Structure 1
Amino acid sequence: MDSLVVPTHYRVLSPPQAEGGKTVAVFPEAAGDLQARAAASGAPLSVFVEAVDAGSVTLRVFTPLKEKGSSDSGALAALAFLHGQGELLDVVDVRMGEEVLPAQLCGGEWLLRQGEVQVTQAPPVDLSPLGLEARSVQVASAGRPNLMVETSDTAALDALTPNAEAVAAVNRATGTTGLVLYAPGGPGRAEVSFRAFGPLRGFEEDAASSQMFACLVGALGAQGRLPEGTNLLRGAQRMPGTPARLTAQYAETGGGFEVWVGGSARRRDP
């Protein structure tokens, strides 16, 4: 196939009628200089389909500057593209580098398994350098521990501008690698709003974080605050200027909550 084939661009995890989430360029094949093609794609993230059959897909993911081991946003865009081509079942395995993630189609949205979230009590910590008055503090992990801090309301959540050095210091003091701030409610019938910070992971704030939202689902579950009569939760991620909408499916296990996270992936012009 021609290595210069034009990619299809997707807006992933964007709220309805909004330009948020992340933009991903999907290439239906992996040929030629993938790094150069990613740099020319016009998107901050490019995903190449290396192999595909009805029950599995192998992907390679690049930023304009380097190859990225894995990306949930890249996987969601590729799954939406391939399913639209009639190439996939509704349950598949997604391979990216050394990682294999089960994926399922649920209500028109692809969800990726994030694993089992374990929640523990947070150690004593001074949150005043972050300008926070916390309603609750926990540690939740699906492989990487996050400090989960509930703020008073969504207005307080939006008003916060935590200093990256202060966030990193709080993470080190609590043995965590990320910080999730959250409050009940949100736009578009979202049950919870949140923001996600990770200077120890190489980013100040993430616009759309599946793994950190999964940890939030587990934290709410440990408090007995998940919605009754359903196994779905919708979250509004509120990075200033870049809103995102994520969907989680969950099930309580013996020691925590198994969580799948995903959301919309809509085609758009580059």
Structure 2
Amino acid sequence: MTVTSAPALYRVLSPPGSEGGRTVAVFSDASDNLQTRATSSGAPLSVFVGAADVAGVSLRVFTPDKEKGTSDSGALAALAFLQPRGVLLDVVDVTMGGEVMPAQLCGGEWLLRQGDVTAREVETDFSSLGVTGKTAWVASAGRPNLVMEVADAAALEGFTPDADAISSLNRETDTTGLILFTMGGPNRADVSFRAFGPLKGFLEDGASSHMFACLVGVLGGTGRLPTTTNMIRGAQRMPGAPSRLTAQFTPAPDGAADVWVGGRAERVQP
């Protein structure tokens, strides 16, 4: 693969006709000072391609300040960069930060396996959040998240997160993040949601594959996944930074669901 100094810029998980999603700089090599190159890219996320062959790819991911370890958005951008070059098969392993994650190309979009997702209903008082909810679940794909359904799109869009209230509720329920959702959404989305994680070091995430996978597990456990397809679209509605994610699911007899999440990665420059 040719070594180049300039990265290719991708917009990942953006809704159709929107400037949302995440901007990722993809470098075709992993040489020299990667942190300096990531900082100079001007992108909030930079991914460097190390080894790549038909069966897999090795990546390193950086923010402008430090090495990130793993990033689904970074992986999706790198796979979209490599796929038209004939480097990869349609099913590959992605290695990042010492972890290996299977990926597959489906309908022109790359999806990453999130694992087996489990969900169970819980009783909790979430009035401290200042939003009227219906029911709550704990869903996990390795890390448990509290999932709550709100009344409608207006309640979802109008929610103002309070880091202390969310953190307290997560501690009470032994969860690490909070997902609020309502069914339906823009651009023919099946479900709309927002994702919060002050205990993880961020207030709100604009594009979270892991949290969408947990939400898919809840929808499966409540019988609201499609029956005529194994795909579902989610509209993540962080104010000012919307995203659209795609999930593929395979329900299991024990109530768990094997979930893959990804979406489109569009090259924007050069």
Q: TM-score band, normalised by the shorter chain? A: over 0.9
SS of equivalent to 1:67: coil
Once the two structures are superposed, the pairs formed by residues 148-227 of structure 1 within 5 Å of their partners are 148-227=147-226
SS of equivalent to 1:171: helix
- CA distance in 2: counterparts of 1:198 and 1:97, whole angstroms: 21
Q: Deviations over 1:208-240 (max 9, x none)?
A: 000000000000100001112110000000000
Residue 45 of structure 2 corresponds to which residue in structure 1? 45
SS of equivalent to 1:40: helix
Residue 259 of structure 1 corresponds to which residue in structure 2? 259
Identity %: 64
Q: Which runs of 5+ in 1 are unaligned?
A: none
The answer on whether the counterparts of 1:3 and 1:32 sit within 8 Å (CA) in structure 2 is: no
Q: Deviations over 1:45-86 (max 9, x none)?
A: 000001000110000000000001100000000000000211
Residue 65 of structure 2 corresponds to which residue in structure 1? 65
Report the residue type matching 2:215 in the other structure: L
Q: Deviations over 1:126-184 (max 9, x none)?
A: 21110121111100000000000000111110000020111000000100000000001
SS of equivalent to 2:60: strand
SS of equivalent to 2:23: strand
- CA distance in 2: counterparts of 1:116 and 1:49, whole angstroms: 28
Residue 133 of structure 2 corresponds to which residue in structure 1? 134
Residue 84 of structure 1 corresponds to which residue in structure 2? 84
Residue 242 of structure 1 corresponds to which residue in structure 2? 241
- CA distance in 2: counterparts of 1:211 and 1:16, whole angstroms: 22
- CA distance in 1: counterparts of 2:186 and 2:4, whole angstroms: 40
Runs of 4+ in 1 over 6 A off after TM superposition: none
SS of equivalent to 1:225: coil
Q: 1:2: Cα distance to partner?
A: 8.3
- CA distance in 2: counterparts of 1:48 and 1:117, whole angstroms: 30
- CA distance in 2: counterparts of 1:40 and 1:115, whole angstroms: 35
Structure-1-length-normalised TM-score: 0.97
SS of equivalent to 2:50: strand
- CA distance in 2: counterparts of 1:161 and 1:74, whole angstroms: 28
- CA distance in 2: counterparts of 1:19 and 1:133, whole angstroms: 30
Q: How many residues align?
A: 269
Report the residue type matching 1:177 in the other structure: T
Provide the aligned C-alpha RMSD in A.
1.2
